[in-house]
Amino acid sequence: MAANSDEKSANMASSQMSQGKLPLWLRWAALLWLLVWIPAYWRTWGPDNFLHLCDLATILGCIGLWSGSALLISSQAVGLLAVSIVWAAGAAWEFFLGRPVIAGTEYLFDPRFPLWVRLLSLFHIVLPLALLWALGRMGYDPRGWRLQSAIAFCAFVASRFTPPAENINYAFTDPFIHRAWGPPAVHVLTSTLFMIFVAYLPAHVILRRFFPPARTEPVTYTRS
């Protein structure tokens, strides 16, 4: 009995020690990714491209991994969970059937852009997995949903100041109905509410259900 009790206590202590810790290599991988990805995307698609919610998620998510911020990681996990699933499904549909099902994946198959730059878009698949893995160690911060909602609203508003032809974040034309939802303010508000309640809220509920609450202690990094 005593041996079993000691073993159980040791396992609990090991679990508590692992929670809140991220491997050091993940921190440096996030930084290295930004050092490669930002110049490549800037040169290929220009600075306006970084207003895309998925690109903002890449920057903020990597900063979260670098700094060990459970709030940033949680917010970008909320932002990417549903979006990445839709993106991956759209990319697969176009790859196998040769035509896009939604706007936003055509560039992947456009030979005008370097193949290696287009392949960098696989962050839509890799980054959410990295964020979920980090949440498994750090826990989920439920404030992430509110933060991501505010980020989305700001991104939609800022996108209205970019050329309409770029249709960044679909701030001018909806990707499904291929037209605006009304005047600019109505379209931005409708798009924001759609993301908050259709994309982000279910992700928030799922993450809160399957991940423990984030620890309040500062996150530390281990070499393993």
> What phi-psi label fits residue 170: left (phi over 0), alpha (psi between -120 and 50 degrees) or beta?
left
**pLDDT of 155-164, one tens digit each?**
999 999 999 9
pLDDT, residue 20, reads 59
Q: For 70-92, what is the mean pLDDT?
A: 93
pLDDT, residue 223, reads 64
Predicted confidence band of residue 96 (pLDDT cuts 50, 70, 90) = confident
Q: For 100-125, what is the mean pLDDT?
A: 88
DSSP assignment, residue 23?
E
pLDDT, residue 162, reads 96
> What tokens were used for 53?
């919610």
Q: What residue ranges do the domains of the chain occupy? A: 21-219
- d(CA 115, CA 165) in angstroms, rounded, equals 23
**Helix, strand, or coil (residue 137):** helix
Highest mean pLDDT among 16-30, 76-90, 98-112, 172-186: 76-90
- d(CA 214, CA 70) in angstroms, rounded, equals 7
* Dihedral (Cα; 41, 45, 46, 51), 10-degree rounding: -80
Predicted confidence band of residue 137 (pLDDT cuts 50, 70, 90) = very high
pLDDT, residue 31, reads 96
> What tokens were used for 179?
């037209």
> What tokens were used for 83?
């979006």
- Is 80 exceeded by the pLDDT of residue 220? no
Q: Percentage of the chain surpassing pLDDT 70?
A: 87
What one-letter code names the amino acid at 21? K
Among 53-57, 75-79, 141-145, 215-219, the minimum mean pLDDT is found in 215-219
Count the neighbouring beta carbons within 10 Å of the beta carbon of residue 184. 13
- d(CA 220, CA 203) in angstroms, rounded, equals 26
Residue 140 β-bridge partners: 213
Q: Give the helix ranges, DSSP H, for the chain.
A: 2-18, 24-45, 53-67, 70-97, 115-119, 123-138, 144-159, 184-194, 201-210
